[in-house]
Structure 1
Amino acid sequence: MHIKPNIHFLLRVLLLVFSACSTPDDTAREQEMAAEEGHEEGTVRMSPAQINAIGLKLGPLQNRNLTGTVKVTGELEVPPQSKASISATVGGNVQEIKVIEGDRVRKGQTLALLTHPELVQMQVDLQEAASRLQYLEQEYNRQQRLYEQKVGSGRDLQEATSNYNTNKAQVEGLKSRLRILGLNTGSILSGRIYQSVPVVSPLSGYVQKVYMNIGEYVSPQQQMLTVVDRSQLHADLMVFEKDVANVKVGQKVSFTVANAAGREYTATVYNMSPAFEEDVRAVHLHADIEGSTESLIPGMYIEGRIAVDSTTALAVPEAAVVLEGDQSFIFVKTGEVGAEEAHPAEGNTTGATEAPAQTAGKAWVFRQVPVVTGASDSGWVEVKLQQQLPDSAQVAYNGAYNLIAEMGKGNTAHAD
């Protein structure tokens, strides 16, 4: 009859005995385990010191007007009509070089002088041929008059005509050759003999390269100088196959060059190649550069972005997004806890010792939220949410990589 009450009494006594034997360390361990069991997966806590060390900032998801961009690379070029490779039209020795690399020159300006005995002989041949032509012309006119008066024979007139036309062609040929060399044939026929031949620029621009030395013999067609008209400088860019559909004539390009990394230039697409570069599966496009190009040089490597279609979408600063594997994440603040509930101070590897006033005594709790990124513009990136967030949600605007690293340390600690 009294067995059941006695059993209850004995159980109470045993419970009191075990409770008295437990230590404070055991109690703390039980509380820590309970806290870990209550720690939500995919969250991370940042202590006031950690928040202060990385300058963590919060802000809402914003609807922003973003202009999508296509990244491109290329170099600065001039069209073929704006670049001249100047060579010798006749062999000769370099007597004088009148320019150096970088000099600005005008069309028709003498860049160098060549000399060779054959040049003198060509001028002498022209003078002799012109003198003989005068005699043959007179003979031709005389024979024509005699023939018209029925005094001369037709054979004599034919011979005079042939000799006259042959010599005339010879004179015109010598004149043409000397004009090509840049010599004044009128002065030569007046008795002047030029000792040297000028090498002139066919266009206005800058001397890009000089390939000769004083006294050097240059053969016909040998390249002597290169002159470039930089006023027609443009951006020659490569667009990969996957982006071609988004690019068209009239779009704006922003680009930088290596020698002026802090300056951004603007250009407008005016031409797209209709053919692919097979080895890289890309097409060339050409863009006119706006503003001054004085500091730009053909051949410079450039990196740029082409502005494509605009869109209005939810966006966060680029520093708010972290990529882990193939998935992008942002961190949303879910609450605050007392600093003693956050990660221990010795777990903070940032070296900070003081928390900012707005976080004093409080740790911030963040939840990892997966997103899909889209267009980016001026430091902001479009994010497409995979789960609904309240309008009042506060996002970590920076330090996303710090947050995911801290989360990784927490997961490792729990695994241990």
Structure 2
Amino acid sequence: MTTRTSAAIALGAALLAIGCKEQSATGESRKAPDAAVASAPHTADVRTVRVAPGLLDSGRIRTARVGRRDAAGAVRLNADVIASPEGAAEAGTLLAGRIARFEAREGDRVKRGQVLAWLDSPEAARSVADLIRARTRTETQARKVTRLEGLVASEAATQIALDEARLDLDLARADLAAARTLVGSLGLGEPPPTGTGATMLTTQLPIRSPVDGVVVERTAPLGAHVSPETHLFRLVSEGRVLVEARIPDGANVVLAPASTARVQPRSGAACTARVLGVLPQVDAPTRSRRARLAPEPGCTSLVPGAQAEVEVEVPAPSVDGGVDQLLTVPTVAIVELKTAMILFVRGNEPGTFEMRPVEAGLRLGDQIAVHAGVAEGEEVVVEGTVLLKGELMRAELGGED
């Protein structure tokens, strides 16, 4: 009895072990990735991406070695197009009111004095009424002076009364001039003289453009209540823009005042610009100096807010110049991730790549200088960066279930 029991127990244990092994094998086969790309197991370190080595053999991922070169030849600097202080303008209102209608949209070219919008403003009607009152008072006082002058001549009135009337006339004329100035500054016309009937006064106030230019921003919607502190429109005079190039700190680039450079916008034809100067400070967030350039007249492809590249020629260093060569990588190797510039460096193990943040500098043709993040001789990914970036982001989110 004891022998049979021991044999049964041994047989059950053997069957259980076989079942567990098969279940484990089945589970592993279910977990095997179907895709050719698989990221490294999710851990706290998501700087390394692991892919199938066959992707390199098939050419879906290609690498290039980091090298050094002279900062000579055509150098491209990132730049922004900004409005010139002399060419920027704002249009607003001198009185409070509500926007009744618009006459211009963003992007419209307008002339100086052209109406951009109309405001319903009761204060405009009061200003016109003040003008009418001042004009009527002046006319009445002028007739009084004329009458007193005749009475003084016939000794029916005193000179004192005439002098007082003339003083009141001068004051009335001053009030009239002030009222006309206010109505004119509001862009309203002076109403014609009327008879005894009541006149309907205008309550709509025009908002006019102060310059010839382009409307680049409209800050309030239709029907909005605006006040004298509100700027309804921003305008830029055509051709009155500046190009602000960023020179990486420490770069061997000299932009001499009055020299010329080529500006290439992201869209549109290239222009020639004259260097105004380099600001004597380094911008901390970008670690670069700012150079300002004025485009030549007729360069209509540059508009405020656009991005561009400034191309300058940097002479080759002399033999004994002692200028260090720049560490460069292909421009296509650098990608943006969460506002940071990164690249992927080939690791020691097959199919592994390490993400590294870099500090990018000058663009030298199809190469870009880097100041930190990689070393000479390392291999960086130049094709397949989008694939690796996607795997990196998936790993940061915890991987797929």
Distance 1:166 1:204 in 2: 39
CA contact (8 A) 2:242 2:292 kept: yes
Distance 1:148 1:251, change over 3 A: same
State the match for 1:170 in structure 2: 175
State the match for 2:216 in structure 1: 208
Distance 1:377 1:175 in 2: 63
Does 2:227 match 1:219? yes
Question: CA RMSD, aligned part only?
Answer: 3.9
Does 2:254 match 1:249? no
State the match for 2:48 in structure 1: none
* Residue number among 278, 288, 293 corresponding to 1:287 in the alignment: 293
Distance 1:239 1:218, change over 3 A: same
State the match for 1:235 in structure 2: 243
* Residue number among 87, 95, 120 corresponding to 2:92 in the alignment: 87
- After TM superposition, the structure 1 = structure 2 runs for residues 115-130 of structure 1, keeping only pairs within 5 Å, are 115-130=120-135
Amino acid at match of 1:219: S
Distance 1:97 1:149, change over 3 A: same
Distance 2:306 2:234 in 1: 17
Distance 1:204 1:157, change over 3 A: same
State the match for 2:310 in structure 1: 304
Report SS of the residue matched to 1:246: coil
Report SS of the residue matched to 1:127: helix
Measured after TM superposition, the shift of residue 208 of structure 1 is 1.2
CA contact (8 A) 2:247 2:253 kept: no
State the match for 1:269 in structure 2: 274
Structure with the largest fraction of helix: 1
Unaligned runs of 5+ in 2: 1-70, 320-325, 330-349, 351-361, 368-376, 380-401
* Residue number among 171, 180, 185 corresponding to 2:185 in the alignment: 180
CA contact (8 A) 1:265 1:289 kept: no
Measured after TM superposition, the shift of residue 130 of structure 1 is 0.6
Distance 1:166 1:103 in 2: 45
Amino acid at match of 2:207: V
Amino acid at match of 2:178: G
Distance 1:152 1:322 in 2: 100
Give a deviation string over 1:85-114, Cα, whole Å, max 9, x none.
211111112111122222222221111111
Measured after TM superposition, the shift of residue 200 of structure 1 is 0.9
CA contact (8 A) 1:77 1:235 kept: yes
State the match for 1:100 in structure 2: 105
Amino acid at match of 1:230: E
Measured after TM superposition, the shift of residue 278 of structure 1 is 6.0
TM-score (norm 2): 0.54
Distance 1:82 1:254 in 2: 22
- After TM superposition, the structure 1 = structure 2 runs for residues 325-364 of structure 1, keeping only pairs within 5 Å, are none
Give a deviation string over 1:177-226, Cα, whole Å, max 9, x none.
111111122x4446773341111111122221112223222112311112
Distance 1:97 1:205 in 2: 17
Amino acid at match of 1:202: P
Give a deviation string over 1:55-93, Cα, whole Å, max 9, x none.
xxxxxxxxxxx9645553331012122222211111112
Measured after TM superposition, the shift of residue 289 of structure 1 is 2.9
Report SS of the residue matched to 1:226: strand
Amino acid at match of 1:285: A
Q: Which moved more, 1:191-200 or 1:215-224?
A: 191-200
Give a deviation string over 1:141-183, Cα, whole Å, max 9, x none.
4445655776643431332122112211111111111111111
Structure with the greater alpha carbon radius of gyration: 1
Distance 2:328 2:134 in 1: 84
- Identity score, percent: 19
Measured after TM superposition, the shift of residue 136 of structure 1 is 0.5
Distance 1:296 1:285 in 2: 17
Amino acid at match of 1:107: R
Does 2:204 match 1:196? yes
Distance 1:377 1:278 in 2: 22
Distance 1:290 1:125, change over 3 A: closer
Amino acid at match of 1:95: A
CA contact (8 A) 1:265 1:290 kept: no
Distance 1:377 1:240 in 2: 13
Distance 1:307 1:238 in 2: 15
State the match for 1:158 in structure 2: 163
- After TM superposition, the structure 1 = structure 2 runs for residues 314-325 of structure 1, keeping only pairs within 5 Å, are none
Distance 1:310 1:149, change over 3 A: farther
Measured after TM superposition, the shift of residue 244 of structure 1 is 8.1
